[in-house]
Structure 1
Amino acid sequence: MADEGPRADPGPSRRHRGNDTYDNIEPLFGKLAALPEGDRARADLRGEIMRRCLPLAEHIARRFSGRGENYDDLLQVARLGLVNAVDRFDVSRGSSFLSFAVPTIMGEVRRHFRDNTWSVRVPRRVKELQLNLGPTVEILSQRLGRVPRAKEIAAELDIDVVEVTQALIAGNAYQASSLDAPATGEDSESSALPLVESLGAEEPSYGWLEDYLAIEPLLGELSERERHVLRMRFFESRTQSQIAAELGVSQMHISRILSRTLGWLRDQALRD
């Protein structure tokens, strides 16, 4: 689950598209509470509130779409959450309906993901944590200006870094693909073959990608000089002597910078 990446969703405002509005919907709940059970007017008023708030369920269902679940199924779950929100809202407490309905509906959708969309059995604690990772990563990315490290996510959620790793791995258990299904790709001939036919060899790029994901968040903590030396050495393929000549220092000095910087990156990556 979020999932959740991601710009922060401001959530539904008091208004939505169309002629209806969420403004002044609380007085309708006051009228609803004043009507006795069994009164036909009560059923009609409850239906009117539901109709006006349906776009709220649609907004939340759309926010969770694209995570392996059909939008129509998510919409039904969100509408169920809306029904629960309408029936449980207590207008006498003075809070707005939106502040109560949004977490109620989102909670219903998250429970649906937690209980129904995992193809491999995963402990409930890990499922719930996995759903919290997406929003947490979004918040930290905006706060830090870079992708957060595992220990920073753990600190934000007040959990152990091992739990963060388990939740990240658990994200792969949402759906299982059949090995007999046709492989997808631009090559029309190879795409007709089952996926199992493409297995058997290790893709070297995976190792590069893993190295990049481990190192990329750490680069922001280096000094501008250290990043510049790394860029010239590994992206521009310059020799240490060429780098030293451009920076006006000795080749030995560049060697020490590279050794110190690479050693620090390695230690930090392995520690996380």
Structure 2
Amino acid sequence: MKNVAKASDLTMTLNKSLKELSEKELFQHYRKTKNIEIRNELVNRYLYIGEILSKKYINKGIDYEDIYQVASLGLIYAVERYDIDKGFEFSSFATPTIIGEIKKYFRDKGWSIRVPRRIQELSKKVNTAKVILQQTLQRTPKIQDIAEYLQCSEEEVIEAMEGSQVYTPKSLDLTYDNDGEDKDIQMSDLIGETDKNYDEIEMKDFIIKAMEKLNEVEKKVLKDRFFNTKTQIEVAKELEVSQMTISRMEKKVIEKMKKEFFKVQ
């Protein structure tokens, strides 16, 4: 009974003091104790990250509530794995972890292409009707059979069946008969390539926008070191500071750019 009382007192003490502790102190305590109350406090403080990231995936085939639950689970994983001694901010560490969980969920549960909800729901009913009618009729059901069973039009059944094809992507190795030609056509031959310049343009746009948040000295260090290929010593001479100062500023600029990059992922 004494042990139970002590545990209860500890919980009450934690509840009173958790709100007063900084994130750094909470992570340090959690690493040592793995106390659930501390973990819950950390998760509550950073739930806004899961909310922001979840909203980026709205209207992509899965309910927001489901995405938010997955994001919250990813946040818990991030709290469990985070090592404050490595020097990274938790938000920078948690963001890719949460996004990874959301994308994994989409791979497992989501539709490859966004289709209207009514098509998704009707597609499920059509698949169920096929199984039932197959057993009842002792043959493969026709479109008309399914339409009558579901009390909808044949056009709606066909639309649902076509829409369901996007749920599981076809293999790029799938081959089609080439009307008597010697060589069959693979699906990969029918798909255009992504313009390689897209990523470059997107990254250039990101760098321009991210640089707007740097001061003039930081912009100069970034441009000279990574675009003009100047050495730290050359930049230090121009700014009349030590090479060590430029090295520190360079690390600071890189960290700022990383934070901005994770925000847009």
TM-score above 0.5: no
Tell me which structure has the larger Cα radius of gyration. 2
User: Which category describes the TM-score, using the shorter chain as reference length?
Assistant: 0.3 to 0.5
| Larger RCO of the pair (alpha carbons < 8 Å, separation 6+) | 1
